Structure 1
């Protein structure tokens, strides 16, 4: 099919949202093209983006598993950069939250920790302004929030991956199934293998049982009272609310600045 105005409308919509829910994307493509062959349409758009060093990538939310389409550059910088509309204090807060998520044992930063951090920044930020800023970061998919905890957003995973690799290489883990870097994962109690939540769910559906993809540690060995896959592959639950944010955790590896 010839690249036309329909393709441009899809691209403009993804660019506007930054990260588009695939379900919404399918509805848009169905409306514009009369079919839901998203692979074909996105492939045609990406073919036009190659000379511009841009691409639309597929990425799952690490918490919900929901698939998103993210418009991003194929030439990533080592430095995390954002729109100048944000203040230096807000960006410092965000970088510290990224650091907490990457270096923690549980893949998230508590809202209490994030707000307490405001008073220790070189450029002070009120908690009210911080809450408004974080709400905006969640809306723009740079962060994901659930139950008072902030996780890595799909846009951060795609657009800032090189920054994370260069800054936190010693802290990064890889999913045993898809071999991609992960920030939030299920951890096997037996062999400590890390797996994306959605990868593990798909693996369990394919295999017909709930077990670790690496050591095959089964659910029955771990918890006879539940058939939930989350019981066999669990997260480190050391999720204490941290008030003193200026002292680094002794559990963290050293990272390059």
Structure 2
């Protein structure tokens, strides 16, 4: 894999800066931004070359373990772009150790904790989340086991 990366222009850098400050950017916004950056920096613009434009940026982000990723929203089916971290961190490793259902329970638990007045969530409230999971409804006993594992793994404390 010794392909020479295409040189980044100011248009690429401008696009990346705006994407970084906006966070997740809807597809049509990304296309407008692509056009704006190319026109502002007097760089060749082709309306159907957004993916190539982003690939150029990604080739330069690779050594930093970063990448602009395109994802499709589950809500409206539209494309969105975001800069993501590809480095293996404790949190990203978490995704490979736990099932989707366990991660959903963890996220909902974190939401309860964050929304609480005191930074705590009662185990009763957390166990009541068990039948609200989108991935798979589980019994309270099962949820209790999952929470025990999160405590043992030091993601949560009792």
TM value normalised by structure 2: 0.57
- Where does residue 169 of structure 1 map in the other structure? none
Change (3 A) 1:120 1:47: same
Shift of 1:30: 1.7
Matched with 1:32 is 37
Name the CA distance, whole Å, in 2 between partners of 1:246 and 1:43.
42
Q: What is the alpha-carbon distance in structure 1 between the residues aligned to residue 52 and residue 112 of structure 2?
A: 42
Distance 2:91 2:127 in 1: 24
Structure 1, gaps ≥5 residues long: 81-98, 125-243
| Aligned position for 1:102 | 104
3-state secondary structure, aligned to 1:245: helix
With normalisation by structure 1, the TM-score equals 0.37
1 CA distance for matches of 2:117 and 2:11?
49
Structure possessing the higher radius of gyration over alpha carbons: 2
Aligned pair count reads 113
| Residues 1:245 and 2:125 aligned together | yes
| Equivalence for 2:116 | 118
2:81 matched to 1:69? yes
The whole-number CA distance in structure 2 between the counterparts of 1:101 and 1:73 is 19
Name the one with the larger helix percent: 2
Conserved? CA contact 1:120–1:246, under 8 Å: no
State the match for 1:44 in structure 2: 56
Residue of 2, 9, 12 corresponding to 1:4: 9
Determine which structure has the larger strand proportion and give its number: 1
Task: Name the Cα RMSD after superposition.
Answer: 3.4
Mapped to 2, the partners of 1:42 and 1:246 lie a distance apart of 41
